[in-house]
Structure 1
Amino acid sequence: MFDVGIDVGSVSINCVVIDESGKIVKEYPYLRHFGRFLEEVQKTIAKVYEDFSKDKIKSVSITGNHGKVISEKLGIPYEFDSITQVVGACRLVPGVRTIISMGGQDACLFRIAYHDGDWELESFTMNGPCAAGTGSFIDQQAERLSSSIYGEEIDFSYDHIEKTLKDFIELGMKSKDPAPVACRCTVFTKSDMIHLQNKGESLENIIAGLHYGNAANYISTIVSNQKLEKPIIFIGGVASNALQVRAFRHYYPELIVPEQHTSVSALGVALHAQKNGWECRPSLEKMAEVGESAEEFPRAPALRLEKTKFTPSKELTPVKKAYDPPITAYLGIDIGSTTTKYALIDDHGKIIHKQYVQTQGKPIEVTQRLLRVLNEEIDGWVNIRGVATTGSGRNVVGDFVNADLIIDEITAHARGAVEMDPTVDTVFEIGGQDSKYIRILNTYPFDFDMNKVCAAGTGSFLHELANKLKINIVGEFQEIALSSKNPISLAERCTVFMESDLVSYAQKGAQINDLIAGLCYAIVHNYLNRVVGKRKIGQKIMFLGGPSLNKGIVAAFEKVLNRELIVPPNREVMGAFGAALAVREKQHQAGILESKSHSLEKLINMKVSYTEKICRADPRCHNECKLKIYRFGDRKSIWGGDCGRYEMAQATGPITKNFFKVREEIFEEYLLEKAEQLSDLAEPLRKPDKYTIGIPLALPFWEWGVLWANFFAE
């Protein structure tokens, strides 16, 4: 009698058949199911019955991401894959201590200990709602680069995907010098890879760098500071990738890849069924009946703009270009992760010129190009009295132009929003790779939050999926979304997972307009759940950023919130507009009549070069941040990294006052009016008829200590 184990993962189906001794007698080929997992499981079981005869099968049991659903539909025994992976691994590699598992959408780490001849799980770590480090992540990057490999459009057939991956890996294996690629989020990785291609980096080095970055990301986010005991094995679909194996062996030279690495979980559930005496032979007839049932999709209301006044126009009224004397103006530059824009305002705060272009990973070069366009436009009729920078590249570009003001994007967007409508109390801003929530109170930012390391629901996320579906993000996308009468309700997910969902739904018969409308809803729910969270949403909401130009997204916000949104003109440059307003106020208050910034001609003609390197300043840090070392003429400037180490180093001039010391002195002055510090007491404090309350010198104390001292004393 034989036991059959089937692992139905997020991307593939794996199946093994074992005999009564637990030995594998047949391992079926790795099979991608493209979302049609129920149909493929039925075919797999039918094939097993054909090969072994149904009468000789004792049990068919199931595991994996989609296993629970199939178990309920077909009445097949189920076990969690966190258990079956360990059971299978311990059979294939007796005494294994560490299991690195990478599947289609999961990346896990198991640390195993043994007691009395049996294993126990010492620790288990898994990726969250992010696909970085998974098989789907690698698949998506391979698809992106396939046009560079083949020079033609790709398709999504099984054979083509397998060929793409094979050629992708073989090309990467030729690399001798892997390029540094950040692998924390698929959207950020895409930006990195495009940037490397634009620099002329070879494809083999980019592909190898992707895999080495993937291994580094796994170690940073999942392994962290855990000590991995040997033997260490690598299992899951990604373990078939020779380049990923090589990348991991850079860190763990003795890494073992079992021959049946893709079927470990299937083996585990078969062994588990055998040990527990499970008996189950599902009927092919019953499976056929289940497979014939109609596919139902969760639905959402149709998208309609009913309350919001949508302003599609982005064009400015042409300004007269002959002024004597020249008019006074202020320039705000917003250097975002994917786009760079500027707004030039006059002394009354009116936008007289603007520009919006792709950053392309080159903030300085793009800024120079924008300044060249601006210089040609103003041609002597404007006197720029102040320059401000904002956005993620504000510091490096601010250093380059010698800006009069460097301002964070939260403050800049809030300032621009209030200028447009002083009654606004909430700002939603969705950018290329950042999403922001700002609460405004009495025209000033009162609270804010941003997305973290995940770019799901941002402009790049939207653009990526639109490109995948061959839909023009400008115009066509919104028209398709608004044409849907029954949008499909999609879960807000990582770009890679969302793409898998879209492919799965499309193969099950979903209409493209219903999917696009559902994507609009998914972006809104992602923003509200992950960025806004439980924070208050006011009554006057302003929606800013590139996606606010899309009627479908605006309509989805209106439908979910059931209220009007304010979508002002020029909203795509609102950060730059706010920065320009802020520098105008600063120069007015200080009575400054001339900007300290370099002249446009000098900035345009300045020779700029840079090199890149990975930061190794702290050997305990696993982030592997990429640094850019610029040369602005004869001046050196270092930027990059998550910790702010190099941004702090850009400060110039001697430090004249230690503000940390000043705060400490003020804190102690007010604290000791009501309390005694224990270290200063010659003997224990005793006051008749009074309680003595001790407050520890712990972290919260340094913020709230004065409050508590006064509260208890009075």
Structure 2
Amino acid sequence: MDLSTSSNGRAAPTGRALSLGIDVGSVTVKAVLLDTTGRVLESRYQRSHGKPRQTLHSLLQEIASHHDLSNGTWVGLTGSGGEAVSHLLGGRHVNELIAQTRGLQQYHPEARTVIEIGGQDSKFLQVELDPGTGRMDLVDFAMNNLCAAGTGAFLDQQAERLGIAIEGEFGRLALLSEKPARIAGRCTVFAKSDMIHLQQKGTPMADILAGLCQALARNFTTVVARGKRFLPPVVFQGGVAFNLGVVRAFESVLGLEPRSLIVPEHHPFMAAIGTGLLAAENGGPGTPNPFPGLEGLLDLALERPLSREARPPLHRRPALPSGGPVPQPPARPDGETGRPLEVALGIDVGSVSTKAVLIDAGGGVVSRRYRMTAGRPLEAVAVALREIGQEAGPGIRVTAVGVTGSGRELTGEFVGADLVRNEITCQARAAIACHQSVDTLFEIGGQDSKYTRIEQGTVVDFAMNNACAAGTGSFLEEQADRLRVRIEDEFSNLAFASPHPASLGCRCTVFMESDIVHHQQEGAELKDLTAGLACAIVENYLTRVVAGRPVGRTVLFQGGVAFNPSVVAAFERRLGRSILVPPHHEVTGAIGAATLAMEERGDRLRRGEAGATSFRGFELGDRGYRTTCFTCKGCSNLCEINRVVFERERPLFFGARCDRFDATSRTPVREQELIPDLFKERNDLLLGGHVPPPRERTGRPRIAIPRALSFHDLFPYWRAFFDSLGIEVELSSPTNPATRSRTASMAAIETCFPAKLLFGHVSELLQGSADWIFLPCVANREAPPGEAEENMYCPIIPASANLVLAQLPPVARQRIVTLPLHLQWGGILSRELDTLADRLGVGRNGMRQARQAGEQALREFHTSVQIRGREALGQIPPGMQAGVLVGRPYNTCDPGVCLDLPFKLRRMGVLPIPMDYLPLDSAGP
């Protein structure tokens, strides 16, 4: 976009001083000319396309052709590229936040909150006008990290993929939507998958565009603002404010009335205006220096870049694959015996691709398929099964089925799996089968990257990418598409031809585009860029996924990206050791699942148990089925349930965190019914028969306690404590999706997940009628006998209440009761509880009785837990697996935090034991 305004059409000599404000951003360059009153005489806005200096020179030439700058002009610069050219223009560089604030003071002094979104930067500002000085102060701010998800680049990339003009057309179409599609506002590359799925379902373009606008707005409020309050009036500025769809999305997400979000007349120029005003104000009352002209800027713009630091080239190994997978002829049954060949089936259902393999008893691959999931995992599985069944022919018999991948649970029910395991376990099993001495496993797929450390055949550590495409196959695909290079073969051939790979560093895949454009402008050839990208994915993977973990001597590289020999070579150069690429590396997850299923069947047969498979057959897709999804409202968990209905069969259900739907499923009653639910028992002991107070108020005072942090081990104390004082106790709901959603909109800090959840629980309680909400800042606990003198909580626990208070408006803060509590130090605790008595308006004598009641209730709880723990440990039958969940109760005893791990362990036949069930007080040294 080239947006230009001018007060006249010809040069206007003037005897008064002018000020020139310049904002050199990562994507666009903005320039404004102001008179002595701060009025905009002329403005220029243009995308730089990797040439910011040339673009600035062109804009200033246009302004100089309309206005005589020779009599003196104050010059101020801001933006990521402003400082580099400030000396050439005789100007001073100003911080962007300060410049934004000054521009806002000039045009919207009533503003309290600013949303500023540019090409690669997003900013949240809270401002306040000082009535005494008339100056606007910056009170608080937040900025995006090195991710494009909440920036204009997010919309730019999606618009390009959809073939929609980002200027004008995008916003106009988005306004036509009545039902915006739900799109993840996470990594902009991953959002591409959501859009593909929506297009395949026939979602109207207007709904997709409106969904993208909503995704950007949600991402800004949760990731950039991080729960900070949007105090009205709210101003939206920056280049993205041109997009009317985003304007409406922010009004919707923030709950603002239509057209109440202020978009300034000069919204893309606010930083440039601010820096121009500051240049004039800081220059003093005298006459500014004559404008130095544009010759120096032109020389810099046209200057050839210095020779880049030479990087060693990549070297191809002859043994490395140079293209796609080579089809393997399927094995056949023994021609002499005529008996069917017994095979195991493995399926790996990922977010991007679905893999299926058949292996024989020796681990040889009989048949395999690699298909795009395309948002329809069950359909992809059904097609893959039909194809490998036809390829293998009638002379095989499936004896075991294993499933892995992100869609493993649903797919396992769908195909009749005998074993369901996570990707880490399956990838590791396949790696060990390929090379027994493997100690490090790199796995890079389309949207997932994993690191696994193996010692003596056992996984001892692992890590995965965190919703970022920078170290995944999508990273290479996106950049190869932009360079119009075929990723299958041309990419590596070019990379190996480069004598000097470009240094592209470690960045978000969207921001990498700017770096590539910059290198192109400096004369980098296509082969240098492809080699640089191969090195960049390695740097991103090692930095973001491996993140300093040890890399052993025997490294296996698995996943689809291992087809790219230039990436393998980049790993070898970076690590200084050989990297092994196993055969069938693109389907090793499925191979591992099949291997584990076959081994488990062998174990069952050796124990004399039935070895029959539950497999539904290769022609599963031909039998007719339909899938639906609904929200179960049987409890506060609000589980999203997937239902698969076959013709003339009972439906399958997946997604429940309980066994409510097991009775209607083809899945037999699980062994978990025979395994005691010790975590539910512990929760019952914790609540101690607590009965929620009636909805209608009884006249008694009422206090609310969030089910977070110290609640999970101190609630017996506070229940008896407040009951002794005649105060009703209300609890927030157990952690559920609504809690997590409220947390995302409130939490403004990067802490552990349990600490963040306190925000969501408090938000729920604020909607109730309780007189107070109790947030104790518990610093320590009584030390167990023989233990260390100090028994301190994590510092976040006592600080959590103040973190919540900082996010609440004054009216809500009045209902919060919080104070430091040192349960280990009796004398200090007495004084602290006296303060609590004054706050609640109860007598201090009653407070002492309440303390005694609380301490007695807490002792009884601990005694009950220990008694039940001894009983449970003594009743574990021979052969039953049992495991202790080690951690603080707020981690292990809140199903919403630990993803209901105890329930999952019981479904696997493992008895999960709470840590405080162990007789640790009597344990020896």
Are the counterparts in 1 of residues 440 and 556 from structure 2 also a CA contact under 8 Å?
yes
Residue 612 of structure 1: CA displacement? 6.2
> For 1:50 and 1:191, how far apart are their aligned partners in 2?
48
Deviation digits for residues 313-340 of structure 1, max 9, x if unmatched?
A: 5332442356522111111101111111
Choose which of 299, 307, 311 in structure 2 pairs with 1:300.
311
- Of 76, 81, 84, the residue aligned with 2:99 is 84
Q: Following the alignment from structure 2 to structure 1, what is the Cα–Cα distance between the partners of residues 31 and 220?
A: 27
Q: Indicate conservation of the 8 Å contact 1:330/1:385, yes or no.
A: yes
1:70 Cα shift? 2.7
1:44 positional shift: 2.4
* Residues 604-643 of structure 1 aligned to structure 2 (within 5 Å): 604-611=621-628, 630-633=644-647
**Partner residue, 2:422:** 408
User: 1:435-471: per-residue Cα shift (whole Å, max 9, x none)?
Assistant: 0000001011110000001112211221122122221
Residues 1:7 and 2:23 are matched in the alignment: yes
Q: Which runs of structure 2 are paired with 1:583-594 in the superposition (5 Å)?
A: 583-591=597-605, 592-594=610-612
Match of 1:514, SS state, is: helix
Change in CA separation of 1:222 and 1:401 when aligned onto 2, cut-off 3 Å: same
Counterpart for residue 532 of structure 1: 546
Deviations 1:500-539 (A, max 9, x none): 2223322343211111110111100000000001111111
Match of 1:169 in 2: 171
What is the match of residue 693 of structure 1?
Answer: 789
2:618 matched residue in structure 1: 600
Q: Which residue of 2 aligns with 1:320?
A: 332
- 2:168 partner SS: helix
Work out whether residues 120 and 511 of structure 2, in 8 Å CA contact, stay in contact via their aligned partners in 1. yes
* 273-282 or 575-584, which deviates more: 273-282
* Post-superposition offset of 1:17: 1.3
Selected match of 1:130 from 143, 147, 157: 147
How many equivalent residue pairs? Answer: 674
Using a 3 Å threshold, how does the CA distance of structure 1 residues 392 and 701 change in structure 2: closer, same or farther? closer
Counterpart for residue 557 of structure 1: 571
Name the residue aligned to 1:543: 557
CA distance in structure 2 between the partners assigned to 1:405 and 1:686 by the alignment = 45
1:673 aligns to what? none
Q: Larger Rg: 1 or 2?
A: 2
Counterparts of 1:613 and 1:399 in 2: how far apart (Å)? 17
- Whole-Å Cα distance in 2 between the matches of residues 318 and 610 of structure 1? 33
| TM superposition shift of 1:102 | 0.8
C-alpha distance 309-11 of structure 1, shift in aligned 2 (>3 A): closer
Tell me by how many angstroms 1:693 deviates.
Answer: 2.6
Of 358-367 and 64-73, the range deviating more from structure 2 = 64-73
- After TM superposition, give the deviation of residue 619 of structure 1 in Å: 11
Structure 1: distance between partners of 2:292 and 2:151: 32
CA gap of 1:352–1:620, structure 2 versus 1, over 3 A, is closer
**C-alpha separation in 1, matches of 2:378 and 2:66:** 64
Asked if the contact 1:300–1:518 (Cα under 8 Å) also holds between the matched residues in 2, the reply is no
Q: What is the RMSD computed on CA atoms of the aligned residues?
A: 3.4
Q: Taking structure 1 as reference, are residues 309 and 687 closer, same or farther at Cα in structure 2, changes over 3 Å only?
A: closer
More divergent stretch after superposition (181-190 vs 409-418): 181-190
TM superposition shift of 1:122: 2.8
Q: Distance in 2 between matches of 1:498 and 1:131?
A: 10
Amino acid of the residue matched to residue 54 of structure 2?
E
Q: Equivalent residue of 1:55, what SS?
A: coil
Match of 1:521 in 2: 535
Q: Give the 5 Å matches for 1:35-184.
A: 35-71=50-86, 76-115=91-130, 116=132, 117-146=134-163, 163=165, 165-184=167-186
2:39 counterpart (10, 17, 23) = 23
Alignment of 1:366-381 (within 5 A): 366-381=380-395
Higher relative contact order (CA 8 A, sep 6+): 1
Aligned residue type for 2:571: F
Residue 308 to residue 318, structure 1, CA distance change in 2 (3 Å)? closer
Structure 1 unaligned blocks of 5 or more: 150-162, 666-677
Q: Is residue 36–residue 508 contact of structure 1 (8 Å, CA) maintained in 2?
A: no
Map of 2:801 onto structure 1:
none
Kept after mapping to 2: 8 A contact 1:311/1:567: no
Contact 1:314-1:570 within 8 A present in 2 as well: no
Aligned-pair CA distance for 1:57: 3.6
Quote the Cα distance in structure 1 between the aligned partners of 2:560 and 2:438: 19
The match for 1:449 is 463
Change (3 A) 1:645 1:530: farther
Aligned-partner Cα distance in 1 for 2:554–2:427? 15
In structure 1, the residue matched to 2:877 is none
Structure 2 SS opposite 1:215: helix
Q: 1:110·1:125 contact (CA, 8 Å) conserved in 2?
A: yes
Rounded Cα–Cα distance in structure 1 between residues aligned with 2:661 and 2:467 = 25
Distance 1:637 1:111 in 2: 51
Residue 668 of structure 1 is matched in structure 2 by none
Of 487-496 and 606-615, deviating more is 606-615
> Normalised by the size of structure 2, how large is the TM-score?
0.68
The match for 2:204 is: 202
Query: Which residue of 2 is the match for residue 385 of structure 1?
Result: 399
Distance 1:454 1:692 in 2: 43
Q: Work out the percentage of aligned pairs sharing the same amino acid.
A: 37
1:288 paired residue number? 298
1:353 CA displacement: 1.1
Separation in 1, partners of 2:422, 2:408? 8
For 2:611, the aligned partner's letter is L
Is 2:268 aligned against 1:262? yes
**Residue 21 of structure 1 aligns to which amino acid in structure 2?**
T
SS at match of 1:325: coil
Moved more, 572-581 or 605-614: 605-614
Code of the aligned partner of 1:232: V
Matched residue of 2:190: which SS?
helix
With normalisation by structure 1, the TM-score equals 0.87
Change (3 A) 1:401 1:691: closer
Which segment is superposed worse, 312-321 or 335-344?
A: 312-321
Displacement of 1:107? 1.6
Structure 1 contact 395–647 (Cα < 8 Å) conserved: no
Moved more, 97-106 or 584-593: 584-593
Contact 1:62 1:79 in 2 (8 A): yes
The amino acid of 1:314's aligned partner reads: V
Question: One-letter code of the match for 2:70?
Answer: D
| 1:83-131 Cα distance to aligned partner (Å, 9 max, x none) | 2112212221112101011100112211223444433333212221111
Residue 616 of structure 1 and its aligned partner are, at CA, apart by: 11
Residues 1:614 and 1:471: Cα distance change in structure 2 (over 3 Å): farther
Deviations 1:61-89 (A, max 9, x none): 11112222333666631111122112212
1:584 Cα shift?
A: 0.8
Cα contact 1:587–1:593 (8 A) shared by 2: yes
**Worse-matched range after superposition: 14-23 or 337-346:** 14-23
SS at structure 2 position matched to 1:600: coil
Equivalence map 1:414-563=2 (5 Å): 414-563=428-577
Contact 1:307 1:563 in 2 (8 A): no
Q: 1:566 aligns with which of 566, 580, 595?
A: 580
1:362 is the counterpart of 2:376: yes
Q: Answer yes or no: is the 8 Å Cα contact 2:494–2:530 preserved in 1.
A: yes
Aligned to 2:776: none
Q: Secondary structure at the match of 2:93?
A: coil
The amino acid of 1:127's aligned partner reads N
Per-residue deviation, residues 231-272 of structure 1 (Å, max 9, x unmatched): 001000000011111211223222111110000110111111
Kept in 1: contact 2:404–2:423 (CA 8 A): yes
